[in-house]
Structure 1
Amino acid sequence: MRILHLLNHTLRLNGHVHAAVDLACAQTAMGHTVCVGSGHGEFDELLARRQVTSVRIDHRRRPLDLVKSLLALRRHVRTWQPDVIHAHMVTSAVLAWPVCKLAGIPLVTTVHNEFERSATLMGLGSRVIGVSAAVARSMQRRGVPARKLSVVLNGTIGSARFEGRGTVPMTLPSPSVLFVGGQHPRKGLPTLIEAFDRVHARCPQARLYVVGDGPLLGTYKEMAMAAACADAVTFAGPVRDPYPWMLGADIFVLPSHADPAPLVLSEAREAGCAIVASAVDGIPELLEGGSAGILVPPGDPDNLAAALCSLIESPSRLKDWRANSQLNIAHLAIDRVAKETLKVYEAARAPARLHGASARAERLG
C-alpha cells in the first residue's frame, strides 16, 4: 500500500509527531511504501534512514501559504499516487479533504488532541481514528458518526524513534518520583507539587524530578520553590532522551487533567516504573483499567499524595506495582498500532474498490 501521512512538522515537540513518525517507520518495516508530508524537522533524518520519503507541505495558517500548500499537495498526490492519505492534525485534514475528494482517495484522520475545539474538523475523514476509546466517545458526542470511528490505542514499544536511546539508568536516590511532560495546565503539575509537599512532610527522604519544558516552566518552578519541599524538587528542564530517567526512577506520576492517550505512559511502563496517574480520558486504557498502575482522581492532591505515600512507605507494595506495570505490556507495541491502523485503511478503501468493481461490471455487461 502507498501511504501518505500529513502532519504540521517533524520536530521533537509534540506527541502527535512522535506517534506519526513511529507509525510511518513501522509501516515501511512491514513492506509498505510511505511518505510524510510536513513542514519538516529533526525526524526527517530518521525517516530517511527507515526508507520513508519526505515532501514539504507547509502547514502555516496564513491564507496565501495554505493556498500554496493545497496546490503543492495536489501536485504531489498526482505524481506519487497514494492509496490513502492519513492526516494527523486539523490543518492536515483541511488541506487533504478537497484533494482526496478530487482524486478519489480515502482520507483517514487520527484525533491526537481531542481537547482542542478544532478537533471536530477531524471528522472530515472518511474514517476517523481515536487514540483511545475515550477520544472516540468524545468525537461521537461532537457529531462524528459511529460508523466512521475506530479506536487504535497508542503504543510506542519497539519504535524506530528509540534507536540508540540510553539504557543506563540515571542515578536517582530512592524513593524517587518522576514526572515527564510539557509544562502546560492540562498536565496537572501544580496538583503534583501540592501533593508532593504533603508527601515530603511524611516521607522527607522522597525526591521529585520534573523533566520537560513548556510555557509555564518558570511559574511551576516558583511554585515549587515556595513550598516546604523545595529542596527535594529538581527541575531538569528539556531532556532529549528521558528514558534513563525512567529507568532510574521508582515511581512515575502523570497527574493530567486532560490527556487523550499519553505516549509517555507506555515508555514509563516499559522502563518498569510503578505508575500513579489520573483517571482521565485514555489514561485508564493505557494502565489496563488500573491493573498496571494506580489511578487517582484528577486535580485531587490529597488522593495523589496518599497514593504516592502508599508506595514510598511500603517497599513491598512498590515492588508489586513495578511488577504490575508489565501486565499485558505487549499490547503497547508499535507493531500492534500499525496493524490495526492498516485495517482502518482497508475499511476506508473498501467503498472505492466496490464502486470500481461495480463500474467495471456495468461496462462488461
Structure 2
Amino acid sequence: MLMEAFTDGRRMAARSAASVRHYVPGGCENGGGIGRLVGYITETAKETGTKHFVTDTRGVCWSKLTSPLRLLGAILTMARDRIVAPDRIHHIHIAGRGSTSRKLILTAAARLMGCCHILHLHDYDYAGDFAQRSPRQQRLIRRMFQNADCVVALGQRDRATLTTLLGVDERRTVVAHNCVPDPGAHDIRGGQTPLIVFLGRLSERKGVTELLSALSHPVMKELQWRAVLAGDGPVEDYRRQAEAMALSGLVEMPGWLDAAEARALCARADILVLPSHAEGLAMAVLEGLSHGLAVVTTRVGAHDEVITDGETGIFVPVGDQDALAAALAKLVSDPEICIRLSVQGRAHYLNHFSMRAYMRSLESLYETVSAKPQAMVGAR
C-alpha cells in the first residue's frame, strides 16, 4: 500500500484525534465499494481506540423526497458534533455526479462551522465528470477541494487530477490505496472444477458483456469450469444474455452478496475476473488478492499500482473479449500458473494491503490533520 507523507509546509506537534465521523452515500450497508471500505475501517478501528462513526448522506438509493432529508440530517449531525465533540475529524467520502452535488453543500457547512474535514475521492473518472460541469460548478468544486484540510486519492492518476485539474496543493494530498481485511490463508483446490468469480455491479462499465462473450468463446467451451457473477444491477437482463449464449448451466448470477457471503464465495473460488472499462481502485481486485485468487483485470485506474502483470495477476485490454477468453482459458487449463499467481498475489496483499498497515497510516494522517488549528470561519 502506498500512503505518501502529508505535510502542510510546517512541522507541528501532532495530537491524537478524539474521533472521526465518516460521511458515506448509502452508509456501510448500501454504499457499494465506498461503504464496504468504511465498514472495514470502522471494524478494524475497534482495536485502535479511535472512535469512528458513520453518517449516511443519501439513503439506500437517491430519492427526491428522502435524499435531501438525509443530507440535512448529516449537516445537523455535523453541527451537533461541532458543539459536543469539537475535535472530531469529518472524513467526507466523495465521488462524481450526485455525490459531488451533495458534498458541495456538506463541505460548505463544514467550512462555515470551522470543522476539520478530509475529502476522500472515490471515482472511476472524476476528470471526465468535472469536464461536463458548468464553469460555475467547476469553480465551486475547485474551491471545495482546495479548502479541505487534506484530500485523499486512491492512486496517482487521481492525485494528478487533484493537483493539475482542481488546483489542490500537492502537500495537502495523500495517496491511499484501498485495503481489505485478511480472510486467512487460501486452500488450493487441486483436482476440482475451477471456479471463476466476478464481484461488482453487473454493468457495461464493469465489462460484464465482454465477460459473458469470453465465457462463451470456443476456447472456453472446450474446458471444464464454473462461474459466479455476483452483484446488483440489471441481473435479469444478463441472465437472459447468458441463456442466449448457452451459459445457463455454467454461469450463476445470485445478485448482490454482503461481505460475509462474498468471503464465502471467494473461499471456494480459484480465479477472480474484473474486466472493467473504468475504475478508481476496485475493492474486488483487492478481495481477490487477499483470498489468494488468480486475478484477471484491466489496466484502469490505480490497478497497475497494485498488480504486476504475470506476477501478481493478469492484465487484459479493455473491451477485448478474445484476450479475456485466452487469459481465463490459460488459467483454467494450467493449474500451475493459477497456483503461482495465487501464492504471489496473496503474498503481495500481505506485504502491502493489510488493514493493519492501512489503519496505521490513517491514524497518522488524522493526527497530522487534527494538529492544525481550526476556527469558526465562513471560508478559508
- TM-score above 0.5, yes or no: yes
Structure 1 residues 263 and 92: CA distance shift in structure 2, 3 A: same
2:296 matched residue in structure 1: 276
Judge conservation of contact 2:22–2:55 (CA < 8 Å) in 1.
yes
* d(CA) in 2 for partners of 1:142, 1:61: 29
Q: For structure 1, which segment, 304-313 or 117-126, has the greater mean C-alpha deviation from structure 2 after superposition?
A: 117-126
2:125 to 115, 118, 135: 115
SS in 2 for 1:326: helix
Cα shift readout 1:111-163 (whole Å, capped 9, x = no counterpart):
122435269846252211012223222333432422322101100124xxx7x
Letter in 2 for 1:233: V
* d(CA) in 2 for partners of 1:8, 1:201: 39
Q: For structure 1, which segment, 198-207 or 25-34, has the greater mean C-alpha deviation from structure 2 after superposition?
A: 198-207
Number of residue pairs the alignment of both structures matches = 331
Cα shift readout 1:276-326 (whole Å, capped 9, x = no counterpart):
111111222232465311111111111111111111222222222222222
Letter in 2 for 1:333: S
1:312 equivalenced with 2:343 (yes/no): no
1:152 matched residue in structure 2: 176
1:179 to 198, 204, 224: 198
SS in 1 for 2:29: coil
Structure 1 residue 85: deviation in Å? 1.1
Identity of aligned residues (%): 22
* d(CA) in 1 for partners of 2:191, 2:218: 17
1:4 equivalenced with 2:21 (yes/no): yes
Judge conservation of contact 1:6–1:38 (CA < 8 Å) in 2.
yes
Q: For structure 1, which segment, 266-275 or 22-31, has the greater mean C-alpha deviation from structure 2 after superposition?
A: 22-31
Q: For structure 1, which segment, 185-194 or 114-123, has the greater mean C-alpha deviation from structure 2 after superposition?
A: 114-123
Q: How does 1:248-327 map to 2 (within 5 A)?
A: 248-288=268-308, 291-327=311-347
2:85 to 51, 64, 80: 80
* d(CA) in 2 for partners of 1:91, 1:22: 26
Structure 1 residues 246 and 279: CA distance shift in structure 2, 3 A: same
Q: How does 1:1-365 map to 2 (within 5 A)?
A: 1=17, 2-13=19-30, 14-38=32-56, 60-62=66-68, 66-67=71-72, 69-89=74-94, 90=100, 93-115=103-125, 117=129, 121=141, 123=145, 124-145=147-168, 146-158=170-182, 174-198=193-217, 201-214=220-233, 216-240=234-258, 241-288=261-308, 291-330=311-350, 331-352=352-373
Structure 1 residues 8 and 171: CA distance shift in structure 2, 3 A: farther
* d(CA) in 1 for partners of 2:232, 2:300: 22
SS in 2 for 1:88: strand
Divergent runs of 4+, >4 A: 39-42, 64-69, 167-173, 199-202
Letter in 2 for 1:247: A
Q: For structure 1, which segment, 123-132 or 64-73, has the greater mean C-alpha deviation from structure 2 after superposition?
A: 64-73
| Cα root mean square deviation, aligned | 3.3
SS in 2 for 1:239: coil
Structure 1 residues 32 and 69: CA distance shift in structure 2, 3 A: closer
1:45 matched residue in structure 2: none
Judge conservation of contact 1:246–1:271 (CA < 8 Å) in 2.
yes
Judge conservation of contact 2:58–2:71 (CA < 8 Å) in 1.
no
Judge conservation of contact 2:272–2:293 (CA < 8 Å) in 1.
yes
Q: Which has the higher helix share?
A: 1
Structure 1 residues 200 and 210: CA distance shift in structure 2, 3 A: farther
2:9 matched residue in structure 1: none
Cα shift readout 1:85-119 (whole Å, capped 9, x = no counterpart):
11013366334423432343321011122435269
Judge conservation of contact 2:291–2:346 (CA < 8 Å) in 1.
no
- Structure 1: 5+ residue stretches without partners: 43-58, 356-365
Cα shift readout 1:189-233 (whole Å, capped 9, x = no counterpart):
11111111115555332222211221x212211221111444322
Structure 1 residue 69: deviation in Å? 4.4
* d(CA) in 2 for partners of 1:290, 1:113: 27
Structure 1 residue 20: deviation in Å? 1.4
* d(CA) in 1 for partners of 2:188, 2:310: 26
Structure 1 residues 199 and 26: CA distance shift in structure 2, 3 A: farther
- Structure 2: 5+ residue stretches without partners: 1-16, 95-99, 132-137, 376-380
**TM-score relative to the length of structure 2:** 0.76
* d(CA) in 2 for partners of 1:288, 1:38: 36
Cα shift readout 1:223-255 (whole Å, capped 9, x = no counterpart):
211114443222222233112221212211111
Structure 1 residue 73: deviation in Å? 2.4
* d(CA) in 1 for partners of 2:39, 2:171: 27
Structure 1 residue 66: deviation in Å? 4.4
